Homo-oligomer: A and B are copies of this chain.
Amino acid sequence: MTDTPETDAPLDPVLSQVLDRLDSDLDAALERLMALLRIPSISTDPAYRAECDAAADWMVADLASIGFDASKRRTPGHPMVVAHGGEGGPHLLFYGHYDVQPVDPLDLWDRPPFEPEVQDGPRGRVIRGRGAADDKGQLMTFVEAMRAWVAVHGQLPCRITILLEGEEESGSPSLVPFLKANAEELGADLAMICDTTMFSGGVPAITTQLRGMLREELVLTAATKDLHSGMFGGLARNPIHVLARILADLHDDAGRVTLAGFYDGVPELPDEIRAQWQNLAFDHTAFLGDVGLSVPAGEMDRTPLEQLWSRPTAEVNGITGGYGGAGFKTVLPAKASAKVSFRLVGTQDPEAIHHAFVDHVNARLPRDVTAEFPMGDGAPASHMPTDAPAFEAARQALGAEWGKPAAFIGSGGSIPIAGHFQDVLGMDSMLIGFGRDDDQIHSPNEKYDLQSFHKGMRSWARVLAALT
């Protein structure tokens, strides 16, 4: 084992043919991805229900064309796609999601979000469109690797199950019940999850620390209807004021979250991880500078990489109340609401933090204001077993493809699926993805580097060869 990628080692001829096939088939692979990107499968908005269904149908048809036994499986929400193929070797479960984020604010997009296009960018060509990086472009990297393997060798390299979800961007309400109901069918030796980024500068990475997430919606109601602020202002309670106080009090002046017991279960970073992260020489000035910022805004006594990867957070993701249109309306609104998410680390307990949030709100509610919490769901943080041999084998395979040693990294994002695979199926996960920090996922003008798409497929072919 060494940190030097083995680019000079002679290639396994079996793998070599698959890589060649991926190179020669790239244009066709791109066409397939474009077709998938044109389906506006926004899972969080009920108006796009039929489109989510259409995306699932597209995936079933595509996987069947490779030879998988693929089917669309009903859930109370959007359907799952499950596919089985191959035999022998380790049984690998590949996970991705075919749903995408909403596209608003639409006027900030340079082109219609569901009319994808390959464009020239400052760092090479990119695939522009909603879902290009999160997660349709990513999941198609492993699908294309499998397609090429079958095309060249007539069969998959091992037993493979694919699980594609349609509710990842809307809280995955059907996921755990579906895993429980189909535990025997879905249980495998190892899960491969493709929904993460590389480290900056094109360093390939396996994400081994994931923050968990608790999502809360808070709706405050004061009067039974909107009031005229001239007739009632000064006497009637304004719920926006109450909401502002509740949200302002979520952090103290040093950037710490104030909820009671919030930091219970938050571990200090082990010395070896701290040392490894220092070696990554993360340039927070450049990272923030890319989006017009300059100073870290989190806990003042933590390094920028700790703030991003290993510290818990509380962020208000949306706030609404009163008149938001053009011009002015001197309304005293009946309601005000906010969406708040907490990123969790270590053994922080989503349930306990939910209760602490409810207590925080209730302690700041004056008479005449009621609070509702219409949505609250959470998943704890995950930590991967980096000492398992498969992790080192995959790390070497990635290094060979990209010409740089691969890193075990943390991630600020939350991919609750890894925790659920562990809890429900007793299965470890390996998180490998080819996204970039500037992909603008969840934002206007999302893109996926064409290089990520191409070398991503090749990476999966190498990982499959290394694990089988």
Contact = CB atoms under 8 A, between A and B. Distances in A.
A238 B316 contact: yes
Interface residues of A, number: 99
A246 to B, nearest CB: 8
B248 A244 contact: yes
B328 A323 contact: no
Given A235-B288, A328-B171, A332-B315, A294 B367 contact: yes
Q: How many copies of the chain does the oligomer comprise?
A: 2
Contacts of A170: 327-328
A422 B223 CA distance: 36
Interface in A282-308: 284, 287-288, 291-299, 304, 307-308
Interface stretch (A61-69, A100-108, A397-405): A100-108
A297 B343 contact: no
Given A234-B307, A320-B324, A321-B318, A341 B229 contact: yes
Contacts of A296: 235
Nearest to A377: B328
Contact of A412 (B232, B237, B375): B232
B412 A233 contact: yes
Contact of A226 (B224, B232, B311, B443): B443
A328 B339 contact: yes
A437 B332 CA distance: 14
Nearest to A253: B245
B247 A240 contact: yes
A162 interface: no
A123 interface: no
Residue with the greatest number of chain B CB neighbours at <10 A, chosen from A224, A232, A367: A232
Given A45-B325, A226-B444, A366 B297 contact: yes
A250 interface: yes
A327 B442 contact: no
A313 B296 CA distance: 36
B329 A44 contact: yes
A229 B317 contact: yes
A317 B233 CA distance: 10
A426 B248 CA distance: 47
9 contacts: A170-B327, A211-B230, A215-B328, A228-B443, A230-B413, A231-B308, A237-B295, A292-B368, A295-B368
